[in-house]
Amino acid sequence: MKNALGRDVPGQPYLGLQAIKRIEYKQTKSDKEERKDKVHYDLGSFIKTLALEDNMTLSFHHHLRNGDFVMNQVMAEVAKSGVKNLTICASSIFPVHAPLVALIEQKTITKIIASYVSGPVADAISEGKVEEVCLLQTHGYRATSIMSEETPIDIAFIAAPACSPDGNITGSMGPSSCGVLGYAIADAWYAKQVVAVTDFLVDVLDPEIPSVCVDDIVKVDRIGDPDGIVSGTTKITRDPVGLRIAKLTSEFMKATGLLKNGFTFQTGAGGISLAVAKEIHELCLDENIKGKFASGGITSYLVKMLEDGVFEELYDVQCFELDAVESIKRNPNHHKMSAAKYADIHDPDNIVNQLDFVILGATEIDLDFNVNVTTGSDGRIMGGSGGHADTAYGAKFAIIVSKLVSSRISVVVDQVTTITTPGETVDVLVTDRGIAIHPRHQALIDHLKATTNLPIVEIQTLYQRALALTGIPEKTQNLGRIVALSQYRDGTILDVIRQIDNID
Amino acid sequence: MRIEKPAQAGTLESNDIYVQILPNPREEIEIRLKSVVMLQFGKQIRQVAMQTLNEKGITSCILNLEDKGALDYTIRARIESAVERSLC
Amino acid sequence: MLRRSALFMPGNNPAMLLSASILGSDCIIFDLEDSVSLNQKDSARLLVKHAIETLDFGNVEVVVRINPVSSQEWKQDLREIVPVYPDAIMIPKACKEDVEEIERFIFEIEEEKQLTKKVKLMIIVETAYGIETIVETLRCSRRIECVLLGAEDLTTDLGIKRTKEGHEIDYARAKVAMAARAFSIQAMDTPFTDVEDREGLVKDTLHAKSLGFSAKACIHPNQIDAVHAVFDPTQSEIDAAIEILEERDRALALGLGVFSIHGKMIDLPVIQRAQNIVDLARKTGKRK
């Protein structure tokens, strides 16, 4: 069936923003009776005691990022039990999770649900090795689908940087401290069974996940590698073209009139996005503007902005850097939040809905402003929405920043390979060769053309400018089997991702 | 004209192309291409390479191309440069 | 043409050539001289040639710095570059003799290829001889549009130390600015070499402006905005200039020869300066 964006999809098609329905969640386990003696000291023998069955869904969070040991350790033990056809519901999967590929090949794992996948597991999905159709969800919808039991979790394994013997968990302490556990909260409250895996048993006074959620605790030697927990990508770009884009972006933001006291802001950790943060930082200091909050994944740079008084508060769903981990411990205005508080579509007070601006990247953006951050232009999975579609929906201005052309590839295309974020939620594209504003903002376009020197053009013009440089790329049509679905924040299907040949 | 002397030009930096031109024992042009944009522009790169060699009057050579997303004008410039270095 | 900044870019780097038109400078100088190693001169010149032929640089002025007459390269540089119509050729280590020789050679190329547009010249004076004979040099060719002071090579030639404050080049700056003005040619100031020191750059540019320079060469894209900010008229300068021009119109209508504003007599040089400011404001987009 064709969805509202013209893509043929199986299941529940995306019908546009107007068609999104609200739902209520069932009660959670807040009054459950707690067991005593939860702590186990051997992961292997503990997993043997679990009532594992074929077709179960196991969940994991990704706060330890590419330094995570837990998913590999747990799955290696689970595989020994001989169960098959498991679904892995992980908030993200990184290159460090390469050992899962063998479990995929032996059919221990036959389905993956995640918000972001990169590395060998992403290749395994793209190459059709995963038997069932996988789901690529937004950060918000992952929480929604767990809480609504669209995705019932049988056992949640929660990597716990610090855990008390009765099961109070925090991400802000311990040798593998990662600051926040925002993406694990829904799992903790809604999974049928919850297992904390920790390397630091200690009293926890201010838990993110309370003991009532936790059934068992397994003490292991190490849950992660601190070097891998901190992302390596969070550097402000030094590329003059990137800096130019950042400057144009801040000028655009100023010209909208929304960059004033009380403004709210989110930016990713990409080089250009961080450069935008720097421009906004300087502009706010110069003009004495104080924002209400910045949100999302928190970098050192946003911590600096908080400390310089540019923002009153930070809402943190994930710490990208050690500075953020440190800040959240000591600064009362640096708040932890769950994925649901951040982006659950059925929570009207969620943080994304309060955003004025979000700065986002794109692998491709098409003439209808649909954005792809899920696959490369060859169709190979190399990421996923994360919070892209959630924040684009919520923010007044979802601003995509990108070079128009890099290494002969244009970011503007006639049709994106995979729709991650629908164009009706994307507002602006800022490139080094011009700014395109979605035509639904015609009044703003007229206003900015009359009052500023911003290089505002139609997105078609940017497309033509790019083609003039690159030439016209060859079209490839992929008719391979569907290996994954790009799922919107209400659970509807935006697009399909097909199997690609394993070529270099 | 045959290429008798090996020569090279360009770099492996992003947006550039590394070109190596070698004698071919046979009376023909053989182009070996590696590219980061093979899927989208493989054919076009070969076309530009062949055209540039034709313009330079080359009838026999092996042309190794390692492309890092160079635009056509860069491909032309680098191949011309390699040819001129080989001929001088 | 508006020319407040000119950004030097190494000629052998495809990524940089591609970004040349979007970094915000009024003029870009593709360099075949100092930033290109000896064994890449041939490649750089072909790359720059094809870039100029192919890429659309919009309103940005495109200049190519060739190798000096003392090198083996300059003739081949001109043979390749002049026929693709750059806006100007920049001549390093310029003196009268070299400019004459280069102009003769350019003329030959233009005749032979039947080029429809004559290429302009920009010269760099960067030797003691070049400074002391600048008047002769500027007199020898009508193609010269702009003269750039090159302080790095000049201080090397003099065997003196180059400092951030730049007192050692005060004489050269004054001489270049004065000579350029005498021939109605633009004087462009030497680059400021500490690319991280924005405050120093602004100070240096203000000083050059006070001596009569109306542009500054840049060696990093992050210098462009600061340079423009110095050469662009401020809003109060624009307002004052507009007031003068309006008063002039009123005085003309009343048939008055001289008039005063806020008790100050306004004469022709003041009116001319006001007109220049308004023209510049219009060009820089500060006034539509």
Whole-model pTM?
0.92
Partners of C53 on chain B (C-beta within 8 Å) are 73
Partners of B15 on chain A (C-beta within 8 Å) are 406-408
Residue A102 confidence (pLDDT) above 90 = yes
| B70 lies within 8 A of chain C by CB | yes
Q: Tell me the domain boundaries of chain C.
A: 5-231, 235-283
| B40 lies within 8 A of chain A by CB | yes
Q: Is residue B2 part of a domain?
A: no
To the nearest whole Å, the CA of A419 is away from the closest chain B CA by 19
pLDDT one-digit tens code per residue, B35-68: 999 999 999 999 999 999 999 999 999 999 999 9
Q: What is the CATH number of domain C5-231?
A: 3.20.20.60
The answer to whether B71 contacts A408, with C-beta atoms less than 8 Å apart, is yes
Mutation target among A241, A245, A452 for the C interface, most CBs of C within 10 A: A241
ipTM: 0.96
The beta-carbon neighbor of C285 closest among A244, A453, A469 is A453
pLDDT one-digit tens code per residue, A382-437: 999 999 999 999 999 999 999 999 999 999 999 999 999 999 999 999 999 999 99
CA distances from B15 to A103, A215, A396, A475 (A): 39, 55, 36, 21
* Intra-chain end-to-end CA distance of chain B, in Å: 13
Residue A234 confidence (pLDDT) above 70 = no
Six token digits for residue A162: 């610090």
Q: Is residue B1 part of a domain?
A: no
Residue A61 confidence (pLDDT) above 70 = yes
Look at residue A86 in the predicted model and tell me its pLDDT: 98
Look at residue A484 in the predicted model and tell me its pLDDT: 98
Closest-CA residue to A265 (of A361, A349, A355, A396): A355
Six token digits for residue B3: 């290429």
The answer to whether B69 contacts A474, with C-beta atoms less than 8 Å apart, is no
Work out the percent of chain A whose per-residue pLDDT is above 90. 88
Residue C72 confidence (pLDDT) above 60 = yes
Look at residue A223 in the predicted model and tell me its pLDDT: 97
Give the CATH H-level superfamily of domain A39-229.
Glutaconate Coenzyme A-transferase (3.40.1080.10)
Domain with B44, as residue range(s), is 7-87
Partners of C225 on chain A (C-beta within 8 Å) are 247
The beta-carbon neighbor of B76 closest among C42, C43, C50 is C50
Q: Cα separation of A114 and A390, whole Å?
A: 15
Look at residue A238 in the predicted model and tell me its pLDDT: 87
pLDDT one-digit tens code per residue, A140-192: 999 999 999 899 999 999 999 999 999 999 999 999 999 999 999 999 999 99
Q: Are C185 and C146 in contact (CB under 8 A)?
A: yes
To the nearest whole Å, the CA of C16 is away from the closest chain B CA by 9
Look at residue C286 in the predicted model and tell me its pLDDT: 61
Six token digits for residue A164: 């008390």
The answer to whether B78 contacts C43, with C-beta atoms less than 8 Å apart, is yes
DSSP line for A394-449: HSSEEEEE--SEETTEESEESS-SS-SB-GGG--EEEETTEEEE-GGGHHHHHHHH
Closest-CA residue to A25 (of A113, A118, A174, A143): A143
Nearest CA in chain C to A449: C288
To the nearest whole Å, the CA of B44 is away from the closest chain A CA by 8
Give the residue-averaged pLDDT of A73-90: 97
The answer to whether C54 contacts B73, with C-beta atoms less than 8 Å apart, is yes
DSSP-assigned letter for residue A183? G
Specify the fold of A240-483. Glutaconate Coenzyme A-transferase (3.40.1080)
- Show which subunits contact B, needing at least 3 CB pairs below 8 angstroms: A, C
CA distances from A329 to A311, A318, A337, A443, C104 (A): 18, 13, 14, 45, 74
Six token digits for residue A401: 């920043």
Q: Are B67 and B75 in contact (CB under 8 A)?
A: yes
Partners of A434 on chain C (C-beta within 8 Å) are none
The answer to whether C15 contacts B16, with C-beta atoms less than 8 Å apart, is yes
The answer to whether B74 contacts C13, with C-beta atoms less than 8 Å apart, is no
Partners of C22 on chain A (C-beta within 8 Å) are 241, 244, 432-433
- Show which subunits contact A, needing at least 3 CB pairs below 8 angstroms: B, C
Q: Cα separation of A199 and A220, whole Å?
A: 5
Q: Quote the mean pLDDT of chain B.
A: 96
Size of interface A-C (CB pairs under 8 A): 23
Q: Identify the CATH number of the domain in which residue B57 sits.
A: 3.30.230.10
pLDDT one-digit tens code per residue, C125-173: 999 999 999 999 999 999 999 999 999 999 999 999 999 999 999 999 9
Residue A58 confidence (pLDDT) above 70 = yes
Number of folded domains that form chain B: 1
* Intra-chain end-to-end CA distance of chain A, in Å: 33
Q: Quote the mean pLDDT of chain A.
A: 94
The answer to whether C19 contacts A240, with C-beta atoms less than 8 Å apart, is yes
> Within the 234-253 window of chain A, which residues sit less than 8 Å (CB to CB) from chain C?
240-241, 243-244, 247
To the nearest whole Å, the CA of C45 is away from the closest chain B CA by 9
Q: What residue ranges of chain A are covered by domains with CATH 3.40.1080.10?
A: 39-229, 240-483
pLDDT bin (cut points 50, 70, 90) of residue C214 is very high
The answer to whether C19 contacts A432, with C-beta atoms less than 8 Å apart, is yes
pLDDT bin (cut points 50, 70, 90) of residue A503 is very low
Residue C55 confidence (pLDDT) above 80 = yes
Residue A140: exposed, middle, or buried by beta-carbon count in 10 A (0-12, 13-18, 19+)?
A: buried
Residue A502 confidence (pLDDT) above 60 = no
Residue A231 confidence (pLDDT) above 80 = no
Residue C284 confidence (pLDDT) above 80 = no
Q: Is residue B51 part of a domain?
A: yes
Residue A504 confidence (pLDDT) above 50 = no
